[in-house]
Amino acid sequence: MIKFFRKFRLKLLSENKFSKYLIYAIGEIILVVIGILIALQINTWNERKKNSKKEYYLLQQLQKEFEKDSSHIETQAWLTNLKVQDGMRIRLFLEGKNNLRADSLVSLLFYNSKALLFNSSTPTYDEIISSGNLSLIKSENLKTKISNYKSSIRAANSFLFTEAHKHKEKYNAHLYKYFDAEIMAHLWKNYNRENRIISNKDLEHFKTDIEGFKNDSNSKYHVSTLIGVDAELNFQYTERINMRISEILDDVRLELKKFEN
pLDDT digits (tens, 9 = 90+) for 97-144: 988 999 999 999 998 888 777 888 889 988 888 888 888 899 999 999
Say whether pLDDT at 36 is over 90: no
Say whether pLDDT at 164 is over 90: no
Q: How confident is the model at residue 212 (pLDDT cuts 50, 70, 90)?
A: very high
pTM of the model: 0.74
Say whether pLDDT at 10 is over 60: no
Say whether pLDDT at 46 is over 70: no
Q: How confident is the model at residue 25 (pLDDT cuts 50, 70, 90)?
A: low
Q: What is the reported pLDDT for 89? A: 96
- Could you tell me which residue, 239 or 255, shows the higher pLDDT? 255
Q: What is the reported pLDDT for 2? A: 47
Say whether pLDDT at 6 is over 70: no
Across the chain, how many H-helices and E-strands are there? Answer: 10, 0
Q: How far apart are CA 211 and CA 219, in angstroms?
A: 11
Quick one: average pLDDT of 222-236? 91
At position 43, the amino acid (one-letter code) is: N
CA 96 to chain centre: 42
Helical residues (DSSP H) of 95-205, grouped into ranges: 102-111, 123-130, 140-175, 182-189, 200-203
Say whether pLDDT at 1 is over 60: no
Q: What is the reported pLDDT for 202? A: 82
Based on the number of CB atoms within 10 Å of its own CB, is 214 exposed (0-12), middle (13-18) or buried (19 or more)?
Answer: middle
The chain-wide mean pLDDT, for the chain, equals 83
Say whether pLDDT at 253 is over 70: yes
Q: How far apart are CA 6 and CA 159, in angstroms?
A: 77
Q: How far apart are CA 10 and CA 162, in angstroms?
A: 85
Asked if residues 137 and 143 have their Cβ atoms less than 8 Å apart, the reply is yes
Q: What is the reported pLDDT for 172? A: 93
Residue 131 is given by DSSP the state T
Q: How confident is the model at residue 244 (pLDDT cuts 50, 70, 90)?
A: very high
Min mean pLDDT across 17-26, 88-97, 192-201 is at: 17-26
User: What are the two backbone dihedrals, phi and then psi, of residue 208, each rounded to the nearest 5 degrees?
Assistant: -140, 120
